[in-house]
A and B are shown apart, each in its own frame.
Chain A
Amino acid sequence: MKAAAFAYARATSVMNALELLAAHGDRAKVLSGGQSLMPAMNLRLLSPDILVDVGGLAELRGIAVRGNLLVVGALTRHVDLLRSPEVALHASLLRDAVAHVAHPAIRNRGTIGGSLAHADPASELPACVVALGATIVVRGPAGERRIAATEFFKGIYETALSPDELLVAVEVPVAGRGATFFFQEYARRHGDYAVVGLAASAVVAAGRFSDLRLGFFAVGDRPLLAAAAGKLINASVTSALLAEAATALADELDPQEDQQASPAMRRHLATVLLRRCVAALLARSELEAGVTR
């Protein structure tokens, strides 16, 4: 199908974009890469009165290291994350994840800001920013505010952004000593939305986790930072302890039923990903085996 009629405004600056959003409120939608918005409009799931196109705003582009933060502009495209030496060095989780996002032609236009603001619970980047302990930077009429990624996602396609605010950047703490990452997802085909996925960020020292953040996606209405990870931090990880963590994980998940999988299947796959993740990060392949519920 084709999108319903709408008006179009090409923002000339962030300030101008904010004025347009203030004028039109929730009748406006922000257009960046359009790789989620355009399908929704073509399918008539969304019919905004006006699109505010921020695609030309150079001030929202670019990846830079400032102190111990990797600052990623909202208009940074998936393909930019894949190719960026800064991302590879400081937050390689983002690079690993983006390889699973759709297909090359989509990655050439889709942006990190668009993906986060869209907040699809099955998409990869929201789980990554939660796992990385990132901060979402938004600008509104009252100025700038910073929102912890863990506080940003509120539900299916729902975020802490208000209609008059624009997501401008993501700040990711740069990977320190012993930092290591894991990304895997189950999907029917490469590039499809995940059935269940895991983006994890950890600090490993002397064979133990001194930190472990497990960002599961497609298991609920928003990316979930699993509390079960706590069982594995500063502990000697045995098969028994991992089984305990897997049980705790299955209990804390409340996955939805859809055409792709039942809640029980999603719980099972999440525990399989947990085992793989822990085995890979600790380089102990024997932990991957074992009975899951």
Chain B
Amino acid sequence: MSVPVPVSLLVNGERIDAFVLPRLNLADFLRENLKLTGTHVGCEHGVCGACTVRVDGEIVRSCLMLAVQAEGASVETVEGLSDSGEIADLQAAFRERNALQCGYCTPGMLMTAQDLLKHLPAPDRQAIREHLSGNYCRCTGYQAIVDAVEATARMRAERRA
């Protein structure tokens, strides 16, 4: 009853055509089929945020989206944002501030933080905490992550000035 379904999408700008089982979620498609293992899988029910990716420019939980639902969409993962240099300064700030320990949550944190900075270039700490509230980190206590996002916002503002 469950047969592979064709799906065509862009992943980090590259056209991908595949046949997938309907039950395959986007996170597993990226990790297992495309070997893009930067997207992490934590809770698999939309709570932890480790699997956050961008679909058509907006962040989503890739564990709550089927690969077949990405038909015709443009998906961007942490690899894409990293390779293009889009988040190089954010990554440097995370390193600088020790905003990660085990690194499990980091790709999702970077995706979500970059999404905030795109929509709200000068967020206060409360806004940063609220935007990151759907991303769990069990190591850092969040303080350093908020510091890194705040520092990146400030650096970007200075660069624009």
Q: Which residues of A contact B (CB under 8 A)?
A: 1-8, 10, 31, 34-35, 38-39, 42-43, 49-51, 53, 55-56, 79, 102-106, 108-109, 189-191
Contacts and interface: CB of A to CB of B under 8 A. Distances in A.
Contacts of B45: 38-39, 42-43
Contacts of B69: 31, 34, 53, 55
Nearest to B71: A10
Nearest to A8: B22
A40 B47 CA distance: 12
Given A2-B23, A34-B66, A49-B1, A104 B59 contact: yes
B64 interface: yes
A189 B44 contact: no
28 contacts: A2-B25, A2-B28, A3-B23, A5-B2, A6-B2, A8-B66, A10-B71, A31-B66, A34-B65, A35-B61, A35-B64, A38-B46, A39-B45, A42-B44, A42-B64, A51-B66, A53-B68, A55-B69, A79-B58, A102-B46, A104-B59, A104-B115, A104-B134, A105-B52, A108-B60, A189-B133, A190-B130, A191-B133
Contacts of A43: 45
Interface in B44-60: 44-46, 49, 52, 58-60
B106 interface: no
A102 to B, nearest CB: 7
B134 A102 contact: yes
Interface centre among A34, A104, A190 (most CB of B within 10 A): A104
A35 B64 CA distance: 6
Contact of B23 (A5, A31, A55, A79): A5
Interface of A is mostly: loop
B98 to A, nearest CB: 24
Interface centre among B49, B52, B60, B112 (most CB of A within 10 A): B60
B62 to A, nearest CB: 9
A43 B47 CA distance: 12
A128 to B, nearest CB: 21
B134 A103 contact: yes
Contacts of A31: 66, 69
Contact of B44 (A2, A34, A102): A2
Contacts of B5: 8
B63 interface: yes
Interface in B5-62: 5, 21-23, 25, 28, 44-46, 49, 52, 58-61
Contact of B21 (A5, A39, A50, A102): A5
A253 B69 CA distance: 41
Interface centre among B1, B46, B59, B115 (most CB of A within 10 A): B46
Nearest to A109: B60
A2 B1 CA distance: 18
Interface centre among B25, B44, B61, B71 (most CB of A within 10 A): B61
Contacts of A51: 22, 66
Contacts of A49: 1
Contacts of A1: 44
B97 interface: no
Contacts of A189: 133
A35 B45 CA distance: 9
A75 to B, nearest CB: 13
A8 B134 contact: no
B68 A8 contact: yes
Contacts of A34: 64-66, 69
Contact of A35 (B2, B21, B46, B133): B46
A10 B22 CA distance: 11
Q: Which 4 A-B pairs have the closest CB atoms?
A: A103-B134, A8-B22, A39-B45, A38-B64
Contacts of B23: 2-6
Nearest to A51: B22
